[in-house]
Amino acid sequence: MSRILALTACTSGTAHSVMAAEALKKQAALLGHEIDARVVDPGAGTAAWVDDAVMMAADGVVLATDTPLDLGSLGARRMHVTSTASAIRDPAGAIQAALALGRTASIASKTAEPAPTISDAPAPAPAVSPTAHSPAVAPPGSADRPVTTPASGKRLVAITACPTGIAHTFMAAEALKRQASAMGHDIAVETQGSVGAKNVLTDEQIAQADAVIIAADTAVDLSRFAGKALYQTDTGSALKKALAVIEAALATEAPAGDASSTSRAVKPARAGGKAQSGPYKHLLTGVSYMLPVVVAGGLLIAISFVFGIEAFKEPGTLPAAMMQIGGGAAFLLMVPVLSGFIAYSIADRPGLAPGLIGGLLASQLGAGFLGGIVSGFIAGYSARLIADKVKLPEGIQGLMPVLVIPLLATATTGLLMVYVVGAPMKGIMDGLTAWLGGMSSTNAVLLGALLGAMMCFDMGGPVNKAAYAFTVGLLSSSSFGPMAATMAAGMVPPLALALATFIAPRKFVRSEIEARQATGVLGLCFISEGAIPYVARDPLRVIPTMMVGGAVSGALSMLFGCTLRAPHGGMFVLLIPGAVGNVVMYLASIAAGTVVAAALVALVKLPSEEVEGS
């Protein structure tokens, strides 16, 4: 049990202060910590808040404030500073960050220099953790403005990776770079995106690093970082809470003794460094590797239709070749790649071969992507079980990854697929395909609305990815309607918020208005994460309105019978004839959802405290 001291203060009096204090109390009790939460009067002076003995006895200190404060003698204590809104939304993150800072307080007090004032604009931004060594401190600024802390000259290396390898990967990398620079640290970030690894870390960089940050939503090979202080989190936390992530990474200790346990590809973690394992992360790894195969295959099939819907049936023609490449080869690989990399996520390279073979069996047996998912988990867990349980003499131990594991895991996976899993999965896929093909208008609208709302719920988070992975998997059974609904809804949040800044500019801060052009472009590219800065500032009003707009777009897309053969690309897939079915009504669906969401958010959002021209 740790002792937490929480001080809360807001400009409007007591409402937000009390709510923040209560949220921190409840979360501390759930985590098993003892907490002293105090609502303080900013004008009363630090002597009235807490005495030095209580402050120094605390293992971690949280200061949730929306107004600049004179800390006086309390400025000598390292503490986590955030806004009251962030403390209300994420009390666990605030407590974890405070404890991480508390563990390094004695070291930091010897090396830190006075920190400059951060900002004078209150904002319900993601939690940040400046080191409070100066007599004055201000509430954290917006998510796109790094918080400055004392320079300590540390060297960091990081890897960022997300399932699609497009948005979160690079946004998280940029956030870490900017925050590390503001803190006076050197950082090198390797991005494992959709085009492969960029800025690959060198052995020299890794050897000199004081800490390693892995911000990933898919499996990452950690064999290069054996013996290093390693902090794992997800891309969302690195993007929204870059300072807290960096502070926690520097507070992480290197493993004692044999570090060989890090040689396996491990799963990502939640903020706080605790590994988050489970089927969902393995599934996202499989989807991330499957996406390029599906995109290439779907677009090549669409190109074959440019010459006529039936043109591919003429042997020896270009349309026939395009259909053979896209439908005969790329789509044939779709399920095996999904299965293979699910197994790879679980068991590293030894799981790849049985996963690929199991996925191919799923395709041959008609079990579709559902069978591929099952085969991937069977192959991965059987390979890992064999690796852990089967022991060979030391002289022939090298045969394990190239002979024993692939042979036994492939046999296990194959036999289970042929005799146990294949037939039931085929029945489920046949039933699902028939249901999707014979849906009434009402059912189609309801499915589209559900998928659309899920896509807009967390802007690239678990719910969004679950809906996306489901519709991508349906492409293997030639069900293209749900994919169209999913992409239409996914474009709504950035487009709607960009439009809303024109409709009601007084309800958005200056940085949001300045970013609206970039946000709109991200929306056109089907990058929902462009809405994250707006969501972070006012989630309780922005998220529900975006879900309504997404549901409208998804429902209309399904109602109009729109189809989409490529799982990504946004508006740019319209440049490829045949990629989108019923183009005009598809555009109308996107426009309708965008207008509805923009109007709703402009209506319910409160006026901003930072108004252009004020």
Catalytic residues: 10, 162
CB atoms within 10 A of CB 412: 19
* Cα–Cα dist 601/585, whole Å: 24
Angle between helices 422-437 and 368-389 (to 10 degrees): 150
CB atoms within 10 A of CB 388: 9
Which one, of 46, 57, 49, lies nearest residue 102 by Cα? 57
- For residue 6, give the H/E element and its range: strand 3-9
Give 164's Cβ-side CA count (13 Å radius).
24
* Cα–Cα dist 461/465, whole Å: 6
* Cα–Cα dist 50/38, whole Å: 9
Which one, of 31, 120, 21, 108, lies nearest residue 68 by Cα? 120
Angle between helices 481-503 and 462-474 (to 10 degrees): 140
Mode of pairing for the β-strands spanning 196-198 and 186-193: antiparallel
By CB neighbour count within 10 A (0-12 exposed, 13-18 middle, 19+ buried), where does 76 fall? middle
Q: Contact, 36 vs 94, CB < 8 A?
A: no
Which one, of 95, 68, 86, 82, lies nearest residue 5 by Cα? 95
- For residue 266, give the H/E element and its range: strand 265-266
Query: Which SS3 state, helix, strand or coil, does residue 426 take?
Result: helix
